[in-house]
């Protein structure tokens, strides 16, 4: 089926082990394979992003006090509002603090568990693997409901603790949320790290053992450096997840009065959109997406440089 | 950072291969101390991970009054009967709303992840196995899609869907859920690793069309990977909160997480909902736990590949 002409062949500088007799068919196949995803990606990723940016550049004007509201181009008016909105920046600061503490704790635990699972020290590995991973099957909303009950002074099975320590009060509720997120995701991150530990060839350990290395030395000098890519992957996803926090705080609001309607950036987006002030909410979304993108990108670049050094 | 606990037992270097092979199993070489320490750590955290789920299970077998009046982490004399009574109330309350929610979630997550996996697999496969102009550009766009927080898209998606009057319909939640850039990323890695070029070349020589080769041959080789992609997309859709929260007003269209969230926030007005929320939470996590257990063989092998790059 070599109907189409050949010029498109020229960019194939190195046809990797494939001397194609029917590049036309192949090109059609590529279009068929990529087409559906490309279409959906444009419709539900690219267009919304562009649309959010457009909306964030508009502002609502009324002719007189009772005139019909009209959307007009407002330039960076919304962004000015974003930067003046202290509640929003407080929420950003809150999730950054949250991430700075929760992500290292969670990944540290995940790494510890993965190393223990990979060590010869444990029995019943299969059980531990499943038990630790089980919370991942619990959606954030459900996890927040469960822990909400467990934290509550009157309903908790640990009433002796929760009636003395106010986990849902203004001071601790952020860390109460951190505990929920950690509880859900440690096992998932553990499995990703564990899977990459399993991929390390055992000969490496044997060589180290012949040199008299102990388990801890092997873990520290060999295993951890080799699973750094997996840790970076989990860290990036954790950073993205942290900035997106919504389900857990929103659900906990019915247990705790300490969580305001702008507690996290996404809650601020939701609250602003329900006013409704779509243009400002869109500007929040754009800033948040950009911040997330930059933060994870910078993190990726920084760690890559470190690794390659 | 040598391990004092294990150091005395370790041969001073120059050990024989037989000895090091012995070290690899959970042989007598590991000191009792470090083994018990490892088991202790894992044991304590098993309690941490499983106690909330255990609490959910025992509390589901109690009446509203019994939740506070009986031993919190254990069953009552007539737990069995009460559990089924609670289940009955759960599925009959509000004209069987809960059953509808479960069905909705199964539809959003099950069908959505199925179609999404096929679409992502095709795209990732094409990116891995064909050379064509713009391949790297497409892959980079997909990668940046991974870093865009999905919640930042929820608001613009809502605005777009409201333009075409599709908010508050099942499509509003279903369609955007089909797109999974991370799925494409994984599919590309898996396809590159598990589908040999020689095999594709052989299939071509046999006269098999590209598309047929993909569906009859390549998907089989990628099967564990596809299960992994399916499962993680399933979980992502099942757990998604912001999109349905912002899109849906009609309770009948809610996925189960949003439904339970809605009930949970009404507890203060309607106290009888409390035990329904707890039983409902238990019922809603059972399908995910079953899915993970049943497909464990696949995902535990597929999980690691995502971080190998």
Contact indicator for A259, A199 with CB cutoff of 8 Å: no
Tokens of A140: 């954030």
**Which residue of B123, B147, B197 is in closest CB contact with A33?**
B123
Residue B21 has pLDDT above 50, yes or no: no
Residue A147 has pLDDT above 80, yes or no: yes
Which pLDDT value is given to residue A229? 86
Which pLDDT value is given to residue B29? 57
Question: Cβ contact (<8 Å) for B13 and A211?
Answer: yes
B123-135 pLDDT, tens digit per residue, is: 999 999 998 888 9
A219-243 pLDDT, tens digit per residue, is: 888 899 988 988 988 898 898 889 8
Average of per-residue pLDDT across A144-153: 91
Residue A302 has pLDDT above 60, yes or no: yes
Average of per-residue pLDDT across B21-43: 71
Question: Cβ contact (<8 Å) for A214 and B3?
Answer: yes
Percentage of chain B lying above the pLDDT 90 cut: 41
Average of per-residue pLDDT across B197-219: 87
Question: Cβ contact (<8 Å) for A37 and B179?
Answer: yes
Residue A111, Cβ density class (10 Å: 0-12 exposed, 13-18 middle, ≥19 buried): buried
Residue B41, Cβ density class (10 Å: 0-12 exposed, 13-18 middle, ≥19 buried): middle
- CA B112 to chain A, closest CA, distance in angstroms equals 13
Question: Cβ contact (<8 Å) for B181 and A145?
Answer: no
List, in sequence order, every residue forming a beta bridge with A92; answer none if it has no partner: none
Contact indicator for B183, B233 with CB cutoff of 8 Å: yes
Task: Report residue A107's pLDDT band, with 50, 70 and 90 as the boundaries.
Answer: very high
Locate tokens 């469960």: which residue? A146
Question: Cβ contact (<8 Å) for B13 and A210?
Answer: yes
Residue B258 has pLDDT above 90, yes or no: yes
* Chain A residues whose beta carbon lies within 8 Å of the beta carbon of residue B245: 250, 270
Question: Cβ contact (<8 Å) for A135 and B152?
Answer: no
Which pLDDT value is given to residue A148? 92
The torsion angles phi and psi of A43, rounded to 5 degrees, stand at: -65, -40
Residue B300 has pLDDT above 70, yes or no: no
**Which residue of B20, B38, B178 is in closest CB contact with A116?**
B38
Q: How far apart are CA A272 and CA A76, in angstroms?
A: 18
- CA B218 to chain A, closest CA, distance in angstroms equals 13
Average of per-residue pLDDT across B14-32: 49
Contact indicator for A60, B160 with CB cutoff of 8 Å: no
Q: Which residue has the higher pLDDT, B246 or B24?
A: B246
Locate tokens 């559990």: which residue? B83
In chain A, the N- to C-terminal Cα span, in Å, equals 50
Mutate to test the interface with A, among B14, B42, B139 (most CBs of A within 10 A): B42
Q: Which of residues 270-309 of A touch B (CB under 8 A)?
A: 270, 273, 278, 281-282, 285-286, 288-289, 292-293, 296-297
Mutate to test the interface with A, among B33, B146, B156, B216 (most CBs of A within 10 A): B156
Locate tokens 């996996």: which residue? B117
Tokens of B271: 């106290």
Which pLDDT value is given to residue A5? 40
Nearest CA in chain A to B155: A282
Which pLDDT value is given to residue A74? 81
Residue A8 has pLDDT above 80, yes or no: no
B76-123 pLDDT, tens digit per residue, is: 878 788 888 889 998 999 888 999 999 999 999 999 999 999 999 999
């Amino acid at each position: 089926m070599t109907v189409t002409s050949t010029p498109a062949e020229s960019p194939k500088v190195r046809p990797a082990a494939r001397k194609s007799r029917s590049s036309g068919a192949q090109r059609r196949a590529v279009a068929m394979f990529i087409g559906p995803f490309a279409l959906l990606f444009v419709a539900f990723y690219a267009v919304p992003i562009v649309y959010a940016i457009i909306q964030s550049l508009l502002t609502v004007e009324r002719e007189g006090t009772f005139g019909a509201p009209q959307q007009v181009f407002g330039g960076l008016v919304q962004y000015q509002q974003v930067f003046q909105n202290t509640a929003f920046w407080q929420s950003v600061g809150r999730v950054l603090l949250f991430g700075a503490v929760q992500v290292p704790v969670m990944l540290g635990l995940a790494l510890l568990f993965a190393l223990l699972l990979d060590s010869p020290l444990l029995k019943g590995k299969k059980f531990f693997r499943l038990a630790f991973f089980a919370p991942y099957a619990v959606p954030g909303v459900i996890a927040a409901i469960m822990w909400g009950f467990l934290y509550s002074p009157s309903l908790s099975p640990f009433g002796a603790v929760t009636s003395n320590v106010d986990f849902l009060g203004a001071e601790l509720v952020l860390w109460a949320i951190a505990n929920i997120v950690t509880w859900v995701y440690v096992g998932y991150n553990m499995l990703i790290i564990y899977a990459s530990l399993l991929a390390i060839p055992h000969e490496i350990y044997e060589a180290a053992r012949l040199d008299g290395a102990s388990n801890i030395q092997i873990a520290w000098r060999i295993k951890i450096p080799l699973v750094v890519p997996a840790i970076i992957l989990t860290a990036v996803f954790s950073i993205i997840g942290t900035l997106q926090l919504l389900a857990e705080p929103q659900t906990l609001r019915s247990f705790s009065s300490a969580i305001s309607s702008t507690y996290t950036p996404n809650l601020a987006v939701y609250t602003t959109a329900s006013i409704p002030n779509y243009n400002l909410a869109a500007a929040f979304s754009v800033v948040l997406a950009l911040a997330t993108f930059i933060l994870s990108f910078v993190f990726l670049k920084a760690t890559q440089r470190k690794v390659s050094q | 950072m040598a391990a004092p606990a294990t150091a005395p037992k370790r041969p001073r270097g120059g050990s024989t291969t037989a000895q090091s092979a012995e070290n690899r199993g959970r042989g007598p070489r590991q000191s009792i101390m470090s083994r018990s320490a490892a088991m202790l750590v894992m044991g304590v955290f098993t309690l941490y991970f499983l106690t909330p789920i255990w609490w959910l299970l025992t509390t589901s077998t109690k009446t509203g009054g019994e939740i506070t009046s009986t031993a919190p982490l254990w069953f009552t004399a007539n737990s069995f009967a009460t559990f089924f009574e609670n289940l009955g109330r759960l599925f009959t309350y509000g004209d069987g709303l809960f059953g509808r929610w479960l069905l909705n979630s199964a539809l959003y997550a099950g069908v959505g992840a199925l179609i999404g996996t096929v679409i992502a697999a095709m795209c990732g496969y094409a990116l891995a196995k064909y050379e064509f102009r713009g391949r790297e550009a497409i892959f980079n766009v997909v990668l940046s899609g991974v870093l865009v927080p999905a919640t930042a898209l929820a608001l613009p998606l809502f605005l777009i869907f409201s333009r075409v009057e599709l908010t508050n319909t099942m499509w509003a939640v279903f369609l955007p859920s089909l797109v999974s850039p991370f799925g494409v990323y994984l599919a590309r890695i898996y396809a590159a690793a598990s589908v040999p070029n020689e095999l594709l070349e052989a299939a071509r020589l046999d006269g098999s069309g590209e598309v047929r080769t993909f569906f009859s041959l390549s998907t089989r080789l990628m099967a564990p990977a596809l299960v992994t992609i399916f499962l993680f997309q399933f979980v992502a859709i099942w757990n998604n909160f912001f999109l349905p929260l912002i899109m849906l007003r009609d309770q009948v269209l809610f996925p189960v997480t949003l439904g339970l969230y809605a009930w949970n926030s009404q507890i203060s007005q309607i106290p009888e909902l409390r035990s329904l929320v707890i039983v409902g939470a238990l019922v809603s996590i059972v399908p995910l736990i079953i899915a993970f257990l049943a497909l464990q063989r696949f995902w535990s092998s597929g999980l690691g590949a995502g971080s190998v790059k």
